[in-house]
Structure 1
Amino acid sequence: MTTRTIVVVSGGLSVPSSSRLLADRLAAATQRSLAEREDDAVVETVELREHAHAITDHLLTGFATGDLRGVLDAVRGADGVILVTPVFSASYSGLFKSFLDVLEPGSLQAKPVLIGATGGTARHSLALEYAVRPLMAYARASVAPTAVYAASSDWADGDAQSGLAARIELAGSELADLVVGAPPVVVTDPFDEVTPFERLLSGDA
């Protein structure tokens, strides 16, 4: 049995948060699907609201402070990532985008990613396709075909009746397939190969 690491990023701003609820459901579905493939999964959940100040500081200074450094390293080293954002003004939240902006280049490249979003009305469901998915294409992530959107009515009507449960299970299965089929994650230290100072001075770098 192989142990996979899944990092779940919730961009919800309130407590409790429907974005966190959806993120947890997607993580559980992914764990079940990986177990069916005889793989174990360790899930690490990140609430962006807890790192909002550090993310802003990173944007201003270019350096990660506090626990944010560990979060960025976790995303970079994960076997799969689940990203969930609330929808504001028909698009992803500013905090969600800011977090993606401070990820180190290549952090999501070829990485299995599942995207989800929550909002007050089903009319905003296409935000996943015209806003979030293009971000993942830019990051060159390997995105699960099924993106899961949950409107307030999905929770009020019961997720089974609204079809939300089925979408969650399908998306979790797709992410599990991507994770199992992906090559092992190899995290390299950019300072492992440092050009010696003598070579820099000689112009041979």
Structure 2
Amino acid sequence: MKLVVVTAGLGVPSATRLLADRLAAAAAGRAGAGVRVVELRDLAVEIAHTFTNGFPGRNLSAAFDAVAAADGLVVVTPVFSASYSGLFKSFFDALGVTDENALAGKPVLIAATGGTARHSLVLDHALRPLFAHLKAVVVPTGVYAASEDWGAGGLDGRIERAAGELAALMAGLSAVAEPGGKPAGRAAGEAAAQTDGIVPFEQRLAALRPAG
């Protein structure tokens, strides 16, 4: 399986990249997936050109292909003005222009970094609606890391929980995929589950939701 990490950190070193790496390591370890990191900082010029000429450059096109082919995504943005960064949003806007269904049905773990815990609602007020609009399947647990969270036990717990949810969704989708790589229908998936002992994707997703 393939896990792609999209990180919009601007600094070097970057807290956003650090969080992305920790999430990727936890999720890839559980899913047995290879990891590719897409640094949006390196693609800023090509992203801007895409909106003016309508065509992604070579590096941006390769990033789009990686995202479209991924079995799961980890996306991490710094918080600017209580929302995702413009670079982060522009990347997914440009992706939607080239392929509006690139994220349809794809498991996505959302995460963000910021200087204060007061911006943690960015996950539910900005990122979750964005990826719902892009037809992605967003894992229940998002991860926000404020400055004071680094080194705290609570962050480790959220990372492990979110990574487990993403790995479960990736495994569920892989289990119901046809040999050619196209998603199987619900009936076919359930039939395969009954004959092969595989838990259907819908049951996996339901198991991730908190009780009550």
- TM bucket (normalised to shorter chain) is 0.7 to 0.9
Aligned: 1:127 with 2:122: yes
Superposed displacement of residue 66, structure 1: 2.3
**Superposed CA offset, 1:56-81 (max 9, x none):** 00111110112111000000010001
Aligned: 1:86 with 2:83: no
C-alpha RMSD over aligned residues: 1.2
Aligned residues of 1:77 and 1:186 also touching (Cα < 8 A): no
Superposed displacement of residue 186, structure 1: 4.0
Instruction: Flag the structure with more relative contact order, 1 or 2, with Cα contacts below 8 A and sequence separation at least 6.
Output: 1
Distance of 1:150 and 1:176 partners within structure 2:
21
Aligned: 1:106 with 2:98: no
Q: 1:6 aligns with which of 3, 10, 14?
A: 3
TM-score (norm 1): 0.83
Q: Which amino acid aligns with 1:99?
A: F
Unpaired segments of 5 or more residues in structure 2?
184-212
> Hey, which bits of structure 1, 4+ residues long, moved more than 2 A?
183-187
Distance of 2:126 and 2:54 partners within structure 1:
25
Which of the pair is proportionally richer in helix?
A: 2
**Superposed CA offset, 1:9-43 (max 9, x none):** 00101111111000000001102222xxxxx2110
Unpaired segments of 5 or more residues in structure 1?
35-39, 188-205
TM-score (norm 2): 0.80
Match of 1:117 in 2: 112
Match of 1:57 in 2: 49
**Superposed CA offset, 1:169-188 (max 9, x none):** 0000000010001144549x
SS for the counterpart of 1:67 is helix
Superposed displacement of residue 126, structure 1: 0.2
Distance of 2:42 and 2:163 partners within structure 1:
26
Q: Which amino acid aligns with 1:177?
A: A
Larger Rg: 1
